[in-house]
């Protein structure tokens, strides 16, 4: 297993590693030393089957000391991390040559890996931790390999569904999302010299099978489209819903504190707010979101962590007086929070989310309607799909600059959480879909099939 250096990638790769290991297979999980130390501890019964293999990240001057994951650097500096990641090629090649695994399962970043594994006769799976519509939206791998085609110089290319999508869909970007999502490609330096589209095109073209976190019971057309676009076996892994585990140690103390507050709230009254840990709101957006929560008049639990790259001297403070004014009905939580346990609590009735694929699925899994504030990348397409299924609504924004107001935040929250006519539709739709998104038996069957595929198509010893 060789994931990209982001915990939103490393955790799904570890979950998949655990499932494969449960079937009796040995796994080497490769990442940098600090990242491996930050991963959850392995269950004792799998510790002999999964080996964490540290590989040293080459030094890049622009990266801070000990920066080994996207959470360690500001978003605008991730391209330096990709440059360092590309420097892992020699050490990874030596490992593959020495160990001769049957399969390597890799992420979208190592464009240089398929030729190495191919030369060694190692079977290759590309595991995309996001869903099928995000990949399908950008077309065949041949177009990804042509940077001139995929550069968003013409916004119209992204603001409507592409011509190869022949079924009805709302999947498309707004102008302001294109500017925010693709600014690194079009405006800023790219220290690695390799565009993300090109990386993905290489890893897809070189793989033997493409595994994706999707299921046929939800938006199945996209899986068929991926097969047509890439002419590869496409294997859905299901939605891979994580288990709500009992906390231990310090996390248990955290949960006790949080649950004491949640237990005092009315059933389905609290809006849980979490916008991910790696893409930050601008100060003006932070202010409007805070005032919107206040205006809504509803209880809230807001997980708000300081963006990566800010020092103590940088400004990252809520509007003066906000926390004091709302302390009787709201919590601003500035540390790690056990999201699954919070979402599963009876007092939580809605989820204000950035619409990452994991978070979106977790909200629907617990039957919570979504108030959506997507920022970049797949979040934007996820929000269009989720709104199309009436699982919730997007906070209205200015089409020109993407700004939103406190009033639009407050009105969106109240509509989804308490409105008796329109809002009840979103609440009922999310509740009805929770049985699919949380069906562990169904999603494990997808993983079973994938393991069988690996067993039947492995490289020869």
Model pLDDT for residues 104-134, shown as the tens digit of each residue: 999 999 999 999 999 999 999 999 999 999 9
SS3 395: coil
Sole residue written with tokens 């509803």: 298
Between helix 357-365 and helix 422-437 the angle, nearest 10°, is 100
| pLDDT tens digits along 164-196 | 999 999 999 998 898 877 754 444 578 999 988
The answer to whether 442 and 238 have CB atoms below 8 angstroms apart is: yes
| pLDDT tens digits along 41-52 | 999 999 999 999
Based on the number of CB atoms within 10 Å of its own CB, is 163 exposed (0-12), middle (13-18) or buried (19 or more)? exposed
Residue 148 has pLDDT above 60, yes or no: no
pTM for the predicted model, two decimal places: 0.93
287 vs 322: CA distance, rounded Å: 9
249 vs 338: CA distance, rounded Å: 13
109 vs 81: CA distance, rounded Å: 11
211 vs 224: CA distance, rounded Å: 13
Residue 66 has pLDDT above 70, yes or no: yes
| pLDDT tens digits along 297-332 | 999 999 997 766 554 444 457 778 899 999 999 999
Pairing of strands 370-372, 348-353: parallel
As a whole number, the mean pLDDT across the chain is 91
């Amino acid at each position: 297993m060789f994931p990209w250096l982001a915990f939103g990638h490393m955790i799904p790769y570890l979950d998949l590693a655990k499932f494969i290991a449960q079937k009796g297979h040995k796994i080497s999980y490769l990442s940098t030393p600090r990242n491996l130390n930050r991963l959850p501890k392995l269950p004792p019964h799998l510790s002999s089957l999964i080996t964490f293999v540290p590989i040293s990240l080459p030094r890049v001057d622009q990266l801070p000391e000990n920066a080994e994951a996207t959470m360690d650097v500001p978003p605008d500096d991730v391209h330096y991390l990709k440059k360092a990641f590309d420097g892992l090629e020699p050490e990874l090649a030596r490992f593959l040559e020495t160990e001769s695994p049957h399969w390597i399962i890799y992420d979208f970043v190592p464009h240089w890996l398929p030729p190495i594994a191919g030369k060694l006769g190692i079977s290759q799976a590309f595991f995309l931790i996001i869903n099928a519509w995000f990949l399908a939206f950008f077309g065949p791998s041949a177009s990804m390999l042509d940077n001139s085609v995929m550069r968003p110089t013409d916004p119209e290319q992204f603001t409507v569904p592409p011509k190869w999508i022949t079924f009805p869909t709302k999947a498309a970007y707004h102008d302001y999302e294109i500017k925010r999502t693709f600014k690194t490609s079009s405006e800023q330096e790219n220290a690695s010299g390799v565009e993300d589209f090109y990386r993905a095109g290489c890893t897809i073209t070189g793989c033997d099978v493409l595994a994706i976190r999707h299921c046929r019971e939800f938006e199945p057309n996209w899986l068929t489209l991926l097969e047509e676009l890439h002419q590869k076996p496409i294997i859905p892994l299901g939605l891979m819903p994580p288990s709500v585990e009992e906390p231990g140690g310090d996390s248990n103390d955290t949960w006790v504190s949080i649950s004491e507050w949640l237990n005092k709230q009315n059933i389905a009254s609290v809006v849980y707010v979490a916008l991910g840990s790696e893409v930050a709101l601008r100060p003006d957006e932070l202010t409007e979101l805070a005032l919107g929560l206040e205006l809504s008049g509803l209880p809230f639990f807001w997980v708000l962590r300081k963006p990566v790259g800010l020092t103590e001297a940088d400004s990252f403070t809520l509007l003066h007086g906000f926390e004091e004014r709302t302390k009787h009905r709201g919590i601003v939580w500035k540390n790690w929070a056990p999201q699954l346990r919070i979402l599963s609590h009876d007092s939580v009735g809605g989820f204000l989310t950035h619409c990452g694929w994991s978070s979106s699925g977790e909200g629907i899994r617990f039957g919570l309607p979504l108030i959506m504030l997507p920022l970049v990348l797949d979040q934007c397409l996820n929000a269009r799909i989720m709104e199309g299924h009436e699982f919730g609504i997007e906070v209205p924004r200015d089409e020109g600059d993407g700004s939103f107001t406190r009033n639009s935040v407050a009105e969106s929250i109240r509509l989804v959480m308490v409105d008796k006519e329109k809002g009840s539709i979103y609440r009922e739709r999310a509740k009805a879909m929770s049985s699919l998104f949380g069906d562990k038996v169904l999603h494990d069957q997808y993983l079973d099939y994938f393991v069988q595929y690996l067993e039947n198509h492995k490289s020869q010893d």
